[in-house]
Amino acid sequence: MNQHELIDKLYKNQILSQDEFVQLINNRDEDSQVYIGQLARCEADKVYGKDVYPRGLIEYTNYCKNDCLYCGIRASNSHVNRYRLNQSTILETCHQGYDLGYRSFVLQGGEDPYYKDELMVDIVAAIRKDFPDCAITLSLGERSYKSYQALYNAGANRYLLRHETASEEHYQKLHPSSMSLAHRKECLYHLKDIGYAVGTGFMVGAPYQTAENLADDLLFIKELEPKMVGIGPFVPHHETPFKDMPSGTAELTTFLISILRLMNHHLLLPSTTSLGTIEPTGREQGILAGANVVMPNLSPVSVRGDYELYDNKICTGEEAAECKGCLSRRIESIGYRLNYCRGDYIE
């Protein structure tokens, strides 16, 4: 099958075999990129129209007990200026976001044992009390079923936990031996079972990643049926073992965004900050390839530079209001608009 036939088959069946995905990825060229991008954007338009949903991201701690080889805030990076936001600062940040129009908040942090279940439940309950009309998304890594359940009961609605790679062998190349893909997957199924709207995802162009790995990622996503899939290019951080590895490309990232859109026309698909970091118009390209979510930073400017998962991250010096203006201009420049609603998955 040629590229057009493969894309047509994906469009029709919303899935391909492992071999077919590998072929589609390996043989991509400008023509197939344009073809799949147009189909993908058209399907996103049918479900979500010209709307792009903004989520206000609050990076509440950069302490992390893990030591993922790719990540700038890994435990063994002693050059990080570590911080934790307390409950009142987190609430204050939500209030500022609410005043700017945000109705969807994402609390993200490293795996920080300081935030035990009781404390985290208090924080979520306080946000829920002040913002009954907002979606609360958590991105706190791997926790117990009991912990996930308690946070859900306290008012959290959604959870983001990237699987990172669906190949056990590749997973081991990116993580210390204390971590496993099996446990990561178990957490994802627990979250789903509890009733969270689950988001997963992976880095594009991660060290040692093959087209077969990417095909496995797509097949795993088909099986999990998440409501959201976050993918962005790997970008090296200078204080990690992967400091000399090349970044992922915008070209492959947008191609995969289009594939994901054709696999599920309703998916919430962010055009990520890392995509905007490797190319000035990366986020716009992501939207045009089929993405429909952006996640501007709401964290207090005083800590932004310290949440550095990778080098040269954009928006670390801008106030939330500045990013709001910048992003809306960018989205409008390509014919789309930010819709400040909760931005739920449309069934």
Give the binding site for ligand 5AD (CB under 6 A): 70-71, 162, 164, 203, 232, 234-235, 237, 274, 309-310
> What's the one-letter identity of residue 178?
S
CB of 329 to ligand FES, least distance (A): 8
The entry of ligand 5AD, ligand FES, none near residue 310 (CB within 5 to 8 angstroms by kind) is ligand 5AD
> Closer to ligand 5AD at the Cβ: 10 or 259?
259
Question: Could you tell me which of 152, 52, 156 has the C-alpha nearest to residue 105?
Answer: 156
CB 85 within 8 A of CB 132: no
Question: Could you tell me which of 84, 158, 159, 86 has the C-alpha nearest to residue 122?
Answer: 86
The entry of ligand 5AD, ligand FES, none near residue 235 (CB within 5 to 8 angstroms by kind) is ligand 5AD
CB of 315 to ligand FES, least distance (A): 3
> Closer to ligand 5AD at the Cβ: 16 or 260?
260
Q: How far is CA 275 from CA 8, 34, 233, in A?
A: 27, 18, 6
- Which residue's CB comes closest to ligand FES? 326
CB of 72 to ligand 5AD, least distance (A): 6
Burial 140-172 (b: 16+ CB within 10 A, else e): bbbbeeebbbbbbebbbbbbbbbbbbbbeebbe
Report how far residue 13's alpha carbon sits from residue 36's, in angstroms, rounded to the nearest whole number. 14
Residues lying near ligand FES in the complex (CB under 6 A) are found at 296, 315, 318, 322-323, 326-327
> Closer to ligand FES at the Cβ: 221 or 315?
315
The residue behind tokens 């063994």 is 76
> Closer to ligand 5AD at the Cβ: 51 or 207?
207
The entry of ligand FES, ligand 5AD, none near residue 326 (CB within 5 to 8 angstroms by kind) is ligand FES
The entry of ligand 5AD, ligand FES, none near residue 200 (CB within 5 to 8 angstroms by kind) is none
Question: Could you tell me which of 56, 51, 48, 2 has the C-alpha nearest to residue 27?
Answer: 2
